[in-house]
Chain A
Amino acid sequence: MNIDLKAEAITPRRHTFSHIARRFGVDKPASRYEEATFDVQPMVNFHYRPTYSPQFELYDARRTRIVMNDWYVFRDPRQFYYASYNISRAAMQQSFDDAVNFVEKRDLIASVDPAWRDLFAAWLLPLRHVEWAANMNCQLIADWGFGTQITSAAAFCGADRLGIAQVISRIGLLLGQGTESALKDAKTQWLEADVWQPLRRLVEDQLVVHDWFELYVAQLIVLDGYIYPLATGAFDRAGAAHNGAPLSMMTGFLGDWYADNSRWTDAVIKAAAAESDANRIILGEWFERWSARAEEAVRPIGAMVLGAEGDAAVDAAGARLRERMIALNALEAREMAA
């Protein structure tokens, strides 16, 4: 038996906004993601040129060398709009908090090999500065990107990067037994130690790149494509022999986050490459330029953590990244042999 609740049925006069119906070719109900992102950015009839870069309009597709006929093909497979994004991240943060509380309550850090604990601090904590730069790069993409699909997702990714930098900082405070000492040491390393300088130079060089799509490739594809697989793969595994599990519990979310973010970055690269050969050539050019530098920059860190096996781990990360780009049709397979 069903209960039969009567409600007044009023026929809607339309099902979605006209700009969305035009995209579908038909007036049918649209998802919240679609209504929140499609065609929200102003496109024409800007009143004044920006005083800080008068060669461009306020929103200008020419701020990148990538050319798209329609900038609304960068659909985020996660379909994030503000509400779904925050709800997802509140849950992710909660799982991190639970892990840290678990570790803290049982003082599990004390059970980790001290030498590994120090090495862990040495490779993880300076990465919060890399995240901070990644945050700035995402802000630039949100600022100068074209179309709401890209700018809103980039803004969410930027917030993620600040959140990750803060989570790493929290781990640093824990490792410093409630003081800033571990974070300060790590910052000194970041600024002065030879092992970090190639990476810091690369990061600072990214901060003067003004083509937002190049930055997308350099940061979100290439640099992340080296650092995250190493941090959550080979580096993490190396801790197992030193009772590093409590530390892995705290960094486990990094792998989850990277997998989630890659769903979006894959979709963006795939769509840009599918648009034209010209785009594919530019993407390939950026990929080669930045991956050569990234590989060089992470090599000393790989050696610091993994010793003689560091190079192999870096090479493996580079090979996987290249395969990923080939699978997205952004690189020709033949370039692999080069």
Chain B
Amino acid sequence: MTPRKMSLKQKYGAYTRGLDWKPTYQREDDVFPFAKYEGIKIHDWDAWEDPFKLTMDAYWKFQAEKERKLYAVIDSMAQNNGQLGITDARYLNAVKLFIQGVTPLEYQAHRHFAHLARHLPGAGLRVAAQMQSIDELRHCQTQIHTISHYNKYFDGIHDFTHMHDRLWYLSVPKSFFDDATSAGPFEFLTSISFAFEYVLTNLLFVPFMSGAAYNGDMATVTFGFSAQSDESRHMTLGLEAVRFLLEQDEANVPIVQGWIDKWFWRGYRLLSLVGMMMDYMLPKKVMSWGEAWETYYEQAGGALFADLARYGIREPKYADVAKAEKGHMTHQAWGIFYNYTHAAAMHTWDIDEAHMAWLREKYPDTFAQHYEPRYRKWREQAEEGKRFYNNGLPQLCQVCQIPMAFTEVGDPNTISFRVSEHGGDRFHTCSDGCKDIFDHEPEKYAQAWLPVHQIFQGACGGATLPEVLDWYHINQGADNMDYAGSPEEEQWNRWMEGRRPVVPVAAE
């Protein structure tokens, strides 16, 4: 009898779940101790369908080829002063935000996908998780290598991991990811693989890469293209994982819905930083935050949640709030950074006339009325030599950790804040979305390391701002303050002599 040829699926099964066995010398619950405490019920791990069927040999060969190409570009960039090709030195502030805020998250994703690769009881999912774990390590390491060249010439990049652990605005991404990695394995999958990588990735990762493409940042955009095939695997994993949870047991549906609600809002608040970057930090703009939100969330997300409705999943709670706020959010976020640039490892600057015209066009209902007058006032102050820096410390939201500057929906003149009581203390949040998250797990969010509270408690190097900035490792007068008058501006203008007309900075 001639043996029947094995199908691809059978072969892949032999290469992955065929390796696994049910332990008998140790209890399964001891080998996988974290699989049940979230209340998720999985009846049949074998029902997990591997979406990629990627074996290690194919992985190594494919990834090695991509790395050869990427590093050729990185080398060429270093050899040929690639930094001269960017549109303007102000663009680099987007890169600073990226390496300070996002690159460390890639590393943390590497660690926590290793956690899933060890602790999920299903062999198929463990294999998928471990490939993502090393992919994330790739992203962290290649981003460091890509941006390493800029670090040689630009400020604010030089101590990104130290800053990630300490700076006030970096506690926004850090607490976001800490929230996910301190949760159980299934919530992590829902938060990072689904909400973050699937639902919101076009609003997080992609705008940085598109911004690089539009602004002559060859190194970063080459990384972006190189990471695309990894990202699409991660997105697929996220969607398949959530479907799998929903299909395994009806009792999983309300749990997953709760996580989708929470992580939608958590992700949306994190995106304030990205939206601000899109609307304010790119000299050559890709699209406005409002347009991106409509395309990638309202349309694409709408279709997704319509599709998931058959499992009993509805759109995330407060998606309507995000929609209603989209003409305000980025302007308010830029306002925060303009106020506190003296305490940040990046620059902000005066919004020039061309930029204001673009903002008026993109935000016809909100910009001219609410934000343009503010920028004109700030310009006036700067021209009088009194560039405004806010010397008070802001109150932070207990959950998203963004300074409380967002306004009530429908009332852009009133700051939105909510109060919860827990254990005899009062906790402040910036929105109904963040308050719900706090109230659901108050013992978790009460632990938050809030940078402003920590400064007041004397945990951040001292009682004065210069002491705190030293503790942050901010090179004062270089990493921080307005772009106008910065060493970067002086350097850029020198580089551009004889190359192209220097764009004047209005505040000078």
A152, B111: Cα distance in complex, Å: 9
Chain B nearest Cβ from A24, distance in angstroms: 14
A window 93-131: CB within 8 A of B: 93-94, 96-97, 128-129, 131
User: Do residues B57 and A45 form an inter-chain contact, with CB atoms below 8 A?
Assistant: no
- Chain B 492-508 near chain A by CB (<8 Å), digits 1 or 0: 00010000000000000
Q: Which of B70, B107, B137 is packed against the most chain A CB atoms within 10 Å?
A: B137
- Chain B 137-157 near chain A by CB (<8 Å), digits 1 or 0: 110111011001001110101
A179 in contact (CB, < 8 A): yes
User: Do residues B162 and A83 form an inter-chain contact, with CB atoms below 8 A?
Assistant: no
Q: Which of B31, B138, B166, B182 is packed against the most chain A CB atoms within 10 Å?
A: B182
Contacts of B385 in A (CB 8 A): none
Residue of B nearest to A207 (CB): B31
Residue of A nearest to B143 (CB): A36
B457 in contact (CB, < 8 A): no
Contacts of A187 in B (CB 8 A): 18, 21
Known contacts A40-B104, A44-B166, A208-B30; 7 further A-B pairs (Cβ under 8 A): A42-B164, A50-B182, A51-B184, A179-B4, A179-B6, A187-B18, A205-B26
Residue of A nearest to B450 (CB): A47
Chain A nearest Cβ from B466, distance in angstroms: 18
A83-B184 CB under 8 A given contacts A40-B140, A46-B178, A207-B26: no
B225 in contact (CB, < 8 A): no
User: Do residues B55 and A166 form an inter-chain contact, with CB atoms below 8 A?
Assistant: yes
Contacts of A135 in B (CB 8 A): 130
User: Do residues A19 and B152 form an inter-chain contact, with CB atoms below 8 A?
Assistant: no
Stretch of A7-15, A220-228, A239-247 that contacts chain B: A7-15
A window 172-197: CB within 8 A of B: 172-173, 176-181, 183, 187, 190-191
Residue of B nearest to A164 (CB): B56
B437 in contact (CB, < 8 A): no
User: Do residues A162 and B165 form an inter-chain contact, with CB atoms below 8 A?
Assistant: no
- Chain B 164-203 near chain A by CB (<8 Å), digits 1 or 0: 1110000100110011011110000000000000000000
Contacts of A87 in B (CB 8 A): 64, 67-68
User: Do residues B151 and A49 form an inter-chain contact, with CB atoms below 8 A?
Assistant: no
User: Do residues A205 and B61 form an inter-chain contact, with CB atoms below 8 A?
Assistant: no
User: Do residues B162 and A177 form an inter-chain contact, with CB atoms below 8 A?
Assistant: no
User: Do residues B133 and A49 form an inter-chain contact, with CB atoms below 8 A?
Assistant: no
User: Do residues A132 and B57 form an inter-chain contact, with CB atoms below 8 A?
Assistant: no
User: For the side of the interface on B, what is the size category?
Assistant: 35 or more
Residue of A nearest to B15 (CB): A166
Cβ-defined partner of A143 (8 Å) among B11, B60, B115: B115
A156 in contact (CB, < 8 A): yes
A42-B14 CB under 8 A given contacts A36-B145, A82-B137, A208-B26: no
Cβ-defined partner of B67 (8 Å) among A7, A82, A94, A177: A82
Residue of A nearest to B33 (CB): A52
B52 in contact (CB, < 8 A): no
User: Do residues B31 and A204 form an inter-chain contact, with CB atoms below 8 A?
Assistant: yes
User: Do residues A143 and B6 form an inter-chain contact, with CB atoms below 8 A?
Assistant: no
A89 in contact (CB, < 8 A): yes
Residue of A nearest to B140 (CB): A40
User: Do residues B114 and A93 form an inter-chain contact, with CB atoms below 8 A?
Assistant: no
A323 in contact (CB, < 8 A): no
B212 in contact (CB, < 8 A): no
Contacts of A156 in B (CB 8 A): 134
User: Do residues B447 and A155 form an inter-chain contact, with CB atoms below 8 A?
Assistant: no
B417 in contact (CB, < 8 A): no
- Chain B 369-386 near chain A by CB (<8 Å), digits 1 or 0: 000000000000000000
B363 in contact (CB, < 8 A): no
A219 in contact (CB, < 8 A): no
A8, B183: Cα distance in complex, Å: 52
Residue of A nearest to B3 (CB): A179
10 contacts between A and B (CB under 8 A): A12-B152, A17-B160, A48-B175, A51-B444, A159-B134, A162-B56, A163-B56, A169-B19, A179-B4, A180-B18
Contacts of A93 in B (CB 8 A): 56-57, 60-61
A279 in contact (CB, < 8 A): no
A48-B104 CB under 8 A given contacts A169-B14, A183-B14: no
User: Do residues A50 and B181 form an inter-chain contact, with CB atoms below 8 A?
Assistant: yes
Residue of B nearest to A87 (CB): B64
User: Do residues B165 and A47 form an inter-chain contact, with CB atoms below 8 A?
Assistant: no
A132-B148 CB under 8 A given contacts A82-B67, A86-B67, A201-B25: no
User: Do residues A158 and B19 form an inter-chain contact, with CB atoms below 8 A?
Assistant: no
A81 in contact (CB, < 8 A): yes
A221, B114: Cα distance in complex, Å: 21
A39 in contact (CB, < 8 A): yes
Residue of B nearest to A165 (CB): B19
Q: Which of A8, A52, A135 is packed against the most chain B CB atoms within 10 Å?
A: A52
User: Do residues A143 and B118 form an inter-chain contact, with CB atoms below 8 A?
Assistant: yes
A139-B118 CB under 8 A given contacts A17-B151, A18-B159: yes
B10 in contact (CB, < 8 A): yes
B window 472-508: CB within 8 A of A: 473, 487, 491, 495
User: Do residues A155 and B114 form an inter-chain contact, with CB atoms below 8 A?
Assistant: yes
A128, B141: Cα distance in complex, Å: 30
A320, B352: Cα distance in complex, Å: 73
A204-B80 CB under 8 A given contacts A42-B161, A82-B138: no
User: Do residues A45 and B449 form an inter-chain contact, with CB atoms below 8 A?
Assistant: yes
User: Do residues B5 and A47 form an inter-chain contact, with CB atoms below 8 A?
Assistant: no
User: Do residues B148 and A17 form an inter-chain contact, with CB atoms below 8 A?
Assistant: yes
A148, B137: Cα distance in complex, Å: 10
Q: Which of B56, B178, B181, B449 is packed against the most chain A CB atoms within 10 Å?
A: B56
Residue of A nearest to B115 (CB): A143
Chain A nearest Cβ from B489, distance in angstroms: 14
User: Do residues B15 and A169 form an inter-chain contact, with CB atoms below 8 A?
Assistant: yes
Contacts of A151 in B (CB 8 A): 110-111, 114
User: Do residues B152 and A158 form an inter-chain contact, with CB atoms below 8 A?
Assistant: no
A129-B19 CB under 8 A given contacts A82-B138, A173-B11, A205-B26: yes
Residue of A nearest to B67 (CB): A83
A-B pairs with lowest CB-CB distance, top 10: A163-B56, A90-B64, A142-B114, A12-B152, A83-B67, A139-B118, A132-B19, A36-B141, A18-B159, A47-B178
- Chain A 5-43 near chain B by CB (<8 Å), digits 1 or 0: 001101011111111000000000000100110011111
Cβ-defined partner of A42 (8 Å) among B108, B127, B152: B108
A47-B174 CB under 8 A given contacts A14-B158, A155-B110: yes
Residue of A nearest to B119 (CB): A143
Residue of A nearest to B445 (CB): A48
